[in-house]
Amino acid sequence: MNYQSQSAPVEGHVAPGFEAVAEEFARNFTVRGDVGAAFAAVHRGTLVVDLWGGMAAPGRPWQADTLQVIYSGTKGLFAGCVLKLVERGQLDLNAPVARYWPEFAQNGKARVLVRHVTSHSAGLPGIATSLRAADYTDYARMEALLAAQPLAADPNAFHCYHPVTIGWLVGALVRRVDGRTLGRFFAEEIAGPLGLDAFIGLPESLEPRVGRIELGPGMLPFDEAFGPEQRADPVFASIWGNPPLFPEELPWNTRAYHAAEIGGAGGIATARSMARYYGAMAQGGSIDGVEILRPETVALGRAEQSRFMDPYIAEAMAFGVGWALQTPQGRFGPAPDAFGHSGAGGSIHGGWPTEQVGFSYTMNQMRGDPEDLRSRHVLKRLYEIVR
């Protein structure tokens, strides 16, 4: 049924019985100050919630087909690519990275395994060489720097979130075992078969559909967000300040960043497509008769590879093969078996296997406020309906 809020700039469609989700999403605008956003959910293979509202950019309302940068939500997409290669026998999670990428063995990295990379245990959370924002669009340079760089720590003993480097590491592996870039592999093997509006490297023709990101509450400059002791730590600075990920003039709003295959953070998608992707994965890898992965491969992807308290941002984390797993914070809603990946500033994308649900919340106002509850309230309402 069509939905249009009487109190908020929200429209879309909800299946009968899911009206409470739409009402909660509308409250994101009337109570929680959202600017532009979309929320979608797939239940047992059917799109049951498809909502959008607010402004995609100044003077441009959010539309049904608005695309949005999803930052680390991209990691959940490359997880499907890695698992596809594992399923085909082209990639072994327990093999050294250097088996596929010989140059990577430099400076003591011969013992780093593929599973270390996909579970944020590779010991390369940042790049030590000073970078400019433009360097993020040059994956060949990023790969060369990572191949030459020594480990920050033993991969068997040190776990630390790799916000951006993980994408270049995975991209290097995909290209060396398959021949295609990460973005092309994702487009041809996953997005195409599933009919997704989701991209790792956006075609220029789609640029007018992309929402413009803005910095909201709690999104402070690097020098203000972190104290002098943190900023002086070379590993911390290499992760979060080289270059600062979220400066006032966001490069993530530029065509150069949208076109680049920034596999750790540069994906662009609609909430509808992200919900469909996870709707397939929550059902064991298939939807509408299209099998992307076998059920046992999805189970492998959800099997815990690492669980840790990040030493730099003091956040509990857990990972399978690329996918983030549920933690006590309940980031992925109330479901205990939830998995997926969040994105910087508030987006969230994932699946609930027991309930066979895929969901996604995308937005253009980034928040660094721990009290940002925009997605949490909506997911709570959704869970109450499907459980």
Note the pLDDT tens digit of each residue in 81-100.
Answer: 999 999 999 999 999 999 99
Give mean pLDDT, residues 289-309.
98
153, 156, 158, 159: CA torsion to nearest 10:
130
Establish whether the linkage from the previous residue to 328 is cis, with ω within 30° of 0.
no
pLDDT digits (tens, 9 = 90+) for 106-160: 999 999 999 999 999 999 999 999 999 999 999 999 999 999 999 998 888 889 9
Spatial separation of the C-alpha atoms in residues 146 and 144, rounded to whole Å: 5
The pLDDT value recorded for residue 7 is 81
- Domain assignment of residue 163, yes or no: no
Clarify whether 72 is annotated catalytic.
Answer: yes
286, part of any domain? yes
Q: Tell me which of 34-43, 127-136, 239-248 is least confident.
A: 239-248
- Please tell me the predicted confidence (pLDDT) of residue 265: 98
Q: Is the pLDDT of residue 371 over 80?
A: no
User: Does residue 170 fall inside a structural domain?
Assistant: no
pLDDT at 385 over 80: yes
- Catalytic pick among 5, 72, 119, 121: 72
Q: 165-220 pLDDT, tens per residue?
A: 999 999 999 999 999 999 999 999 999 999 999 999 999 999 999 999 999 999 99
Structural domain that includes position 191 = 65-78+185-353
Q: Give the pLDDT score at 372.
A: 87
pLDDT (0 to 100) of residue 240: 95
In CATH, what number is assigned to the domain containing residue 207?
3.40.710.10
279 within some domain: yes
Q: What are φ and ψ of residue 283, in 5° steps?
A: -95, 10
For position 158, what pLDDT does the model report? 87
How far is it, in rounded angstroms, from Cα 184 to Cα 30?
40
Q: How many distinct structural domains can be found in the chain? A: 1
pLDDT computed for residue 310 by the predictor: 94
Tokens read off for 18: 């899911």
The count of C-alpha atoms lying within 13 angstroms of the C-alpha of 119, restricted to the half-sphere facing its C-beta, is 27
Residue 191 located in a structural domain: yes
195 belongs to a structural domain: yes
Q: Quick check: is 35 in a domain? A: no
- Strand 214-215 with 365-366, pairing: parallel
Question: pLDDT band for position 343 (50/70/90)?
Answer: very high
- Whether 119 is covered by a domain: the verdict is no
pLDDT band, very low/low/confident/very high, at 293 (cuts 50, 70, 90): very high
